[in-house]
Amino acid sequence: MKPYVEMTKEELQELRKELSAQYKEFQGRDLKLDMSRGKPSAEQLDISMGMMDVLSSSDDLTCDDGTDCRNYGVLDGIKEAKELLADMMEVAPDHIIIYGNSSLNVMYDTVSRSMTHGVMGSTPWCKLDKVKFLCPVPGYDRHFSITEYFGIEMVNVPMTSTGPDMDLVEQLVASDDTIKGIWCVPKYSNPQGISYSDETVRRFARLKPAASDFRIYWDNAYTIHHLYDNDQDHLIEILAECKRAGNPDMVYKFASTSKVSFPGSGIAAIAASENNLTDIMKQLKIQTIGHDKVNQLRHVRFFKDIHGMVEHMRKHADIMRPKFEAVIETLEKELGGLEVGEWTSPKGGYFISFDSLDGCAKTIVAKCKKAGLIMTGAGATYPYGKDPHDNNIRIAPSYPTLPDLKQAMELFALCVKLVSIDHILAEKA
């Protein structure tokens, strides 16, 4: 079929009748499909169930250094867990702190601490007239929710195929001392699945911020979340690059096992310079007696080492890969050549980004919902929920079963067609 924009008004109207009949048929199915969040499926959760058996009441819960994991203490995490997460994050064990189950919690705490107590002795952000964050867009809605919650002004920075627009990042960071941070998902980004190029990472490390308390919030959430064994994206390690560039304190690196083991019962970590970790520990000593060391030990006993973790992620990939491929195949089959949308084809991560015709995303998502398919709200991938082009939609393939996902994508493509036709007809009127 030729592109919709090349079709006559009469052709579009006739096609719309056919598609509307298909849409009514979908509505009659009483579907309840959910692609709203990047939640692991039950099948993915099942592959970690062995973790429940590695510890029992008869087991020795003592670490190699004699730490009794049942008791208080060891604020920065047990040695074995630090070694495991350090390998996953590609840093030295003495450069990380192990937290509880959520890296989002760690990021929230990091912003909160900066608001109330500043960064390594700097003026607390709450005492400043204005605080800004750079936000690569489209991006992760929960990042934006944190900065919005604290009243931090968010500045959009366009994403490119190699990462954020670094010309703009360099210019803004160097010229404005109210810019205190930038959110980054550097590997298999949310939602586009883009991995930052070597040059992009090096340019980040060489930034010359006007603010001494500027920090890169490097959320490497999908660091080992590949879809393929022989076709993977690789990322330069940012802490080492910052140190090499003479900016050792400029980055906070976050990760967790949320989409490796159990999302609700994983372990999270922050990696940073010695100066940053010393600053963070001042708060932790007040905030907690220590995080869940039994759970840390459980992860170590289950995975054993990074090789065990990599093998475990292959099982995740075997579940995720057919879902990603089903999404791409449906989009290519149903929308290819129509010129009503573009989409990414990531090699890992949890999302596929879809760009509709400008002004159509909210209507597409609403139309999907009326037929029983819940998707991430249009606009969620932009600060304040305001997509200036109203064209970006995040597709989350992980949670539905494969048959449900295929049905959901057929419905999604149908809604894209109908809304696009209405949009083009309105322009031709």
Secondary structure in 3-state letters for 64-110:
CCCCECCCCCCCCCCHHHHHHHHHHHCCCHHHEEECCCCHHHHHHHH
Domain ranges of the chain: 4-45+310-428, 66-304
Query: What pLDDT is stored for residue 409 in this prediction?
Result: 98
- DSSP for 176-233, written as a single string: -TTEEEEEE--SS-TTT-----HHHHHHHHT---SSTT-EEEEE-TTTT-BS-SSS--
Model confidence at 386: pLDDT above 80 = yes
| pLDDT tens for each residue of 121-166 | 999 999 999 999 999 999 999 999 999 999 999 999 999 999 999 9
Of 174, 171, 179, nearest to 154 by C-alpha is 179
Tokens 């220590």 appear where? Answer: 290
Q: How far is CA 29 from CA 125, 202, 396, in A?
A: 53, 52, 22
For residue 183, give the nearest of 200, 211, 164, 197 by alpha carbon: 164
163-164 and 373-375 beta bridge pairing: unpaired
* Burial status of residue 268 (CB atoms within 10 A of its CB: 0-12, 13-18, 19 or more): buried
* DSSP assignment letter at 4: G
pTM of the model as a whole: 0.97
Percent of the chain past pLDDT 70, that is, above it, reads 100
Domain 4-45+310-428, CATH: 3.90.1150.10
pLDDT given for residue 1 in this prediction? 81
Nearest to 68 by CA among 313, 388, 360, 297: 297
Q: What are the tens digits of pLDDT across the range 328-385?
A: 999 999 999 999 999 999 999 999 999 999 999 999 999 999 999 999 999 999 999 9
Provide the token pair at 300.
């170590």
Indicate the CATH number for domain 66-304. 3.40.640.10
- pLDDT for residue 317: 98
Q: Compute the mean pLDDT over every residue in the chain, rounded to the nearest whole number.
A: 97
Contact 117, 111 (CB under 8 A): no
pLDDT band at 429 (very low <50, low <70, confident <90, very high): confident
Give the confidence band of 428 by pLDDT, cuts at 50, 70, 90: confident
Query: pLDDT at position 53, please?
Result: 97
Quick check: 101 and 258 in contact, CB under 8 A?
yes
CA dist 134 and 170 (Å) reads: 11
Cα distances (angstroms) measured from residue 350 to each of 14, 160, 230, 394:
37, 19, 18, 10
Q: What pLDDT does residue 176 have?
A: 98
pLDDT score recorded for residue 91: 98
